[in-house]
Structure 1
Amino acid sequence: MANVAELSSEIGRAAIGPRFDEQGFSYLRKIYDEKQKHELALKLAKLLIKRESVCMQGGCYINDHSVIAKTIINDTAVKHGIIEVVDVILEECPWAIEFVDENGKNILHLAAEFCQLRVFHLLKSKLGFLTMTKIIANVDRKGNTTLHFAAKFDDRRQNKIHISAYKMALETHWFKKLKGLSPTHHLQFRNSDGKTANELFDDTHKQLIKDGVKWIKNTANTIMLVSTLIATMNFTAAFAVPGGYHQVTGLPIFASKTRDSQLSMPILQQHCFSVLAPLEAPVYLSRFHMDEFYFNLPLKYIMVGSSLFCSAIYTVAVFVQALILVNNGDFTTIGWCFGISAIIAAVILFILVYVDVMFPFFRYFGYLLFE
């Protein structure tokens, strides 16, 4: 008990931490305090788990009110994805995998219910094939299988995600992932409410699908508007030759300059991407079924968003080349510095906006490919 008391006092002292705030580093102090409390709380949890494991080996009975049972099932370890604690419990007490809560839910049921992908991967790596198959096949007291828990949508999971279409894609991915591991007869297994997992998924995701459809259509309208403006502007500019035409010969004034031929390639590339961007329009013909949220709609979003981004970048490139052509590259040093700085700022702004908008769906495809 002395070790437990020492660790508890250390956790209390960690809340005080070094006096960063006296030096104007209150933000660093908060980070340091959180890190210290996390490390010390993990040490305390490991110590308690090891002590109870030793007690179990000595013949003591461990019930549902034990530290291990409450930590892994009733409280936070699995529900909040604290894999460090779950890992320690599985290392010290492999029998804890048999624990269930008052509703008959085991550790995998909770991981499926709260969409804890990291806990799921930890279980797959720690447990053997037979043990994993056994806990997947378990059913709780209300007749819910692991697939039922994955199918039921709850606002408590994915609560940090605000893009409804992205949330629906993750929900579909999670359901299909567990569907591939569940026994075949679980697909037709009905719970106490008389619903299969597929029926439960459709019923609980109706509002999320509506929100996802609304978000996709609004995004499609925005992309079509912006891409149409860019294409119209650049289509007009493509036939307005920089410098105009010679009044006698009728040829472009800068036709003899080598830079004039270099201008045509960025214009062509820009037009190609401008044409690809409105491909978001066929989304209105989509049925918006679960399978489309799984792959087709995220892929279309990435393609269209990337095309719009490239179109904007090439628009800047065309403008810069045309400006250099008209002035024959004759700029002052200040002009060059100002122009280059403006170009760099514009490109960085485009990249930041692109990453902010597209990152969730790139991350989603990372889940599909590597997890």
Structure 2
Amino acid sequence: MMDRGFLDWPFLPDDAAAVYDRATAFATETAPGLFDPRDERREAVADACRALVAAMGRAGLLGVATALAAPLSARRLCLSREALARQHALVDFAFAMQGLGSGPIGLFGSDEQKAAHLPGVAAGGAIAAFALSEREAGSDVAALATTARKDGADYVLDGQKTWISNAGIAGLYVVFARTGEGNKGLSAFVVEAGTRGLTATYSIDVTAPHPLGVVVLENCRVPARAMIGAPGDGFRIALGTLDVFRATVGAAALGFARRALEETIAHVSERRLFGARLADMQLTQGAIAERATATDAAALLVYRAAWRKDSGHRVTRESAMAKLFATEEAQKTVDLAVQLFGGLGVVRGTVAERLYRDVRALRIYEGASEIQKLVIARSLLAA
């Protein structure tokens, strides 16, 4: 049975239970009819994401993920991601990318840009993508090589992005490119799919399937009004957006961990070994106690970061701590589930096996665990 006690924590919004329940209802009632989780072909996964985003728009779920009607609430984002991830990673992915992909527009865009793009994202009619990473510039944003040169009233973009979620199915891409030298030489642009010179393909297969691929920009011309903020604001926009969404990765990890615990407890309560229930063995009890404690500790870190962000604080260190601890501990919790399920834990398509594939990527994307440690340490040493 699901533990709902955390929904009463005093630093969560008054509508925390409503936000969580709405996301849970979508994931358990609507989403299962939109895709077959066993079909991991690229075409099927891409179609599933399109269907999920459209249905989330109709259900009003994407209002939480965009800054259309109100400022982004990090706590509501976290609550939604935790609830969705608890049911299926692809459902969480579809929701999260509408937020991350449109985040730079909602957080830093002009009124004109918000009016032009956010309604479509919130309605589920436009899929969004965050095009930052490159082959030699992932965690090291300063190494970004894609360029944007001024040409009259336009900018011309050239370069290649990789590891881009929603590549090939997005309707708009927020592309980060170099307009000058150093960190202050990065800028951000909204580039609509179909713009001449932009080619995006879903071309990378990973353990937890979702649309992931490459975006190529060749003499891609966009008007100057496509720039988000001012020239040189790109580094600030990228990190400011990640400050909001990095903690939500920890929330997704929480969803995986809670589901793994739930499945593990149900299994060991029924599975018998040497004439006793697996749940009656002290080794099992000790392992479950450790994982439950770690999960609650991760939740406190995640929702602390989200609460401080909603309170107007900079949360670079808190978000890094939340992502680092929640994802690392969720991996251990899912691993325990696989171990206690025994042979069933590695049968493809079972909940434990799926969670094992789903959780692994969270320790890498939006800043690997090692990068989070650097962020935390540098913050403390600079204080």
Do they fold alike, i.e. is TM over 0.5?
no
Which protein, 1 or 2, shows the higher relative CO under an 8 Å CA cutoff with sep ≥ 6? 2
TM-score by length of 1: 0.32
Say which structure is richer in helix.
Answer: 1
Whose radius of gyration is greater, 1 or 2?
1
